[in-house]
Amino acid sequence: SAVISQKPSRDICQRGTSLTIQCQVDSQVTMMFWYRQQPGQSLTLIATANQGSEATYESGFVIDKFPISRPNLTFSTLTVSNMSPEDSSIYLCSVEGGSNGRGTQYFGPGTRLTVL
Amino acid sequence: TQLLEQSPQFLSIQEGENLTVYCNSSSVFSSLQWYRQEPGEGPVLLVTVVTGGEVKKLKRLTFQFGDARKDSSLHITAAQPGDTGLYLCAGARGNYGQNFVFGPGTRLSVLP
């Protein structure tokens, strides 16, 4: 399994500002994923971050609001832009692993974002 | 549309009791994972099941994948307070993460 770290672990931000979340993996991985977990809810996939190409966004999420960078095979960033209180969530990055590529995901510890 | 359903949504039991959590779908999955998430942390993988009918045991936890690969169950024997957390099932419909779908979760509280 991969070891994944995220920065910051938590932040409190003002409405209208932006926050960039970093995700670092201890090994090279092809795909990294960004999820949002709203209070008391399950996980919703925001986008898939591919190295060397634009991120692939899920329905309901757009690049202007959640720009993603993937400069190499061990690192990715997610920016939450022009924040509103509705963006208050835990943001999680994950990577895929498991034997034979069988779709097992490993998660970072998450970034808890509160927007005032 | 919620592709994966979990039941119960909330469960509060006494230490030493047994419990079963269910994960159901009308879709077929190539694999299914169970995660436990504690407050302030990311989900931690407990098990991956791949073969229909497969049963995996992890100490006091028993996981079963339905024959048709559409459902799964997690059984905990003699629950302990350390088992408290949010249990999430996730189904993979392909070999890549963008085809993952998560259930809504079962929030378990084990009281001493």
Eight-class DSSP state of A53: S
Eight-class DSSP state of B51: S
Contact assessment for residue A103 and residue B100, using Cβ atoms and an 8 Å cutoff: yes
The string of pLDDT tens digits covering residues A88-111 is 999 999 998 655 445 678 899 999
Q: Which residue of B has its CA nearest to A37?
A: B42
Distances (CA, A) of B34 to A69, A110, B38, B61, B91: 29, 18, 14, 11, 9
Residue A101: its pLDDT value, please? 47
Q: Which of A44, A104, A109 has its CB closest to that of B48?
A: A104
When mean pLDDT is compared across A102-106, B24-28, B34-38, B48-52, the lowest value belongs to: A102-106
Inter-chain contact B97–A33, Cβ cutoff 8 Å? yes
Distances (CA, A) of B9 to A1, B70, B86, B108: 29, 19, 9, 8
Residue B30: its pLDDT value, please? 85
Distances (CA, A) of B47 to A51, A55, A89, B80: 28, 28, 26, 19
Separation in Å, CA of A83 to nearest CA in chain B: 21
Separation in Å, CA of A94 to nearest CA in chain B: 9
The string of pLDDT tens digits covering residues A43-68 is 999 999 988 888 999 989 999 999 99
